[in-house]
Amino acid sequence: MQNISATVLTDIPDSLDALRQEILTAIDAAQDAASIEEIRVSALGKKGRLTEQMKTLGTLPPDERKEKGAALNVIKDEVAAKLAVRQKEIAGFEMQKRLEQERVDVTLSVRPQSEGRIHPITQTIEEIVTIFASMGFAVAKGPDIESDYYNFTALNIPPDHPARQMQSSFYLPEQDGKPVVLRTQTSPVQIRTMQKQKPPIRIIAPGRTYRVDYDMTHTPMFHQFEGLVLDEVTHMGHLKGCLLDFLRAFFGIADLPIRFRPSYFPFTEPSAEVDIGCSRKNGELKLGNYGDWLEIGGCGMVHPNVLKHGGIDAEQYQGFAFGMGVERLAMLKYGIPDLRTFFEADTRWLKHYGFVPLDIPNPALKG
């Protein structure tokens, strides 16, 4: 391009060459898209300096007009070409500048000191679900506001049955003439699941539960998780093996022993309370195979009346159920001494006992 201009420009009169030089120098000096546009308008626009020169051609004698017209056309082409080149260069710089400014380094590690924490209840539920999911359980849910029927009657606790007094309930105003409670247990999810799904069933149902109670070891709202397994040949041995595997994985103690004690729950027959091995030496509670025992939950073989309420053929199917408190498991695993502190929303407590968001959900399961 430089060469072409050089040859053609030998014919350009000095007066026009000064103008040409001025415009080309301005183009070279331009640093952004706006100044390039400004130069374009001032040179080639309707009232631009080269355009004005073109307009004077008509007043010239034919010879001069021809010569000057040719020269002007050469200059116009040269200026237009140079503008285009510079415009492209500037667009390139500007894109480069934007890329630099908006750059996100995806290799940077997560900031170590984020303030937010996962609440120990959320963390513990996640751990429980992770372990049971690895055993083929699905998560099931039911409402916190539950009918008296699902919370009690369908679980083989008829009205006026003394077992209703085992759990002091929050009753709510009746709905459609029927009594309604804040569920006192996650067990109603058993019935809801059976009514929706045919065996084989393997579900885990974590969630909130409510009872009229408040002291060191009781809060009016707390969390439980329910387990239900129904199939054709499910027995008490499966139940014990399932809980043993779960509790060992959860606490990360490979030889943690468990023990079943005969008990009573209206919805299971036979029923058992589950204990895990511990030591209470020197007033310190330690989990493991130390000869002492600590109660951790309830379980049993699902009562035929419960299967009937769930619409399951009790002749063909049987199975087991279990229920445990989430806070209790969290307190034992993470050494949290007072249940009430879980729900005080104290950020210092949460900072101490909470979990950093991107941590692996269950450290006990690693390796």
Residue with tokens 């387990």: 227
Shortest Å, Cβ 167 to ligand DAH: 7
Judged by CB, which is closer to ligand DAH: 206, or 323?
323
Contact flag: residue 199 with ligand DAH (CB under 6 A)? no
Shortest Å, Cβ 265 to ligand DAH: 4
Percent composition of the chain: helix, strand, coil (DSSP 3-state, to 5) = 45, 20, 30
Contact flag: residue 185 with ligand DAH (CB under 6 A)? yes
Contact with ligand DAH (CB under 6 A) among 300, 310, 330, 353: 300
All residues at 6 or more sequence positions from 199 whose CB lies less than 8 Å from its CB, including other chains: 230, 231, 232, 312, 317, 319
Per the DSSP assignment, residues forming a β-bridge with 258 are 276
Contact flag: residue 265 with ligand DAH (CB under 6 A)? yes
Judged by CB, which is closer to ligand DAH: 132, or 322?
322
Contact flag: residue 298 with ligand DAH (CB under 6 A)? yes
Distance CA 337, CA 137 (A): 31
The two structure tokens encoding residue 173: 């105003």
Contact flag: residue 277 with ligand DAH (CB under 6 A)? no
Q: Are the CB atoms for 35 and 61 separated by under 8 Å?
A: no
Contact with ligand DAH (CB under 6 A) among 147, 151, 153, 187: 187
Residue 205: closest CA among 226, 182, 230: 226
In this chain, which stretch among 6-14, 139-147, 292-300, 308-316 interacts with ligand DAH, using CB under 6 A? 292-300
Distance CA 25, CA 273 (A): 93
Residue 137: closest CA among 50, 66, 197: 197
In the 8-state DSSP scheme, what is residue 118? B
Judged by CB, which is closer to ligand DAH: 75, or 299?
299
| Closest residue to ligand DAH in the complex (CB) | 323
Site for ligand DAH in 217-246 (CB under 6 A): 226
Contact flag: residue 321 with ligand DAH (CB under 6 A)? yes
Contact flag: residue 193 with ligand DAH (CB under 6 A)? no
Q: Are the CB atoms for 100 and 71 separated by under 8 Å?
A: no
Contact flag: residue 142 with ligand DAH (CB under 6 A)? no
Identify the three-state secondary structure at position 37.
helix
Shortest Å, Cβ 360 to ligand DAH: 29
Binding site for ligand DAH (CB under 6 A): 185, 187, 226, 265, 268, 298-300, 321-323
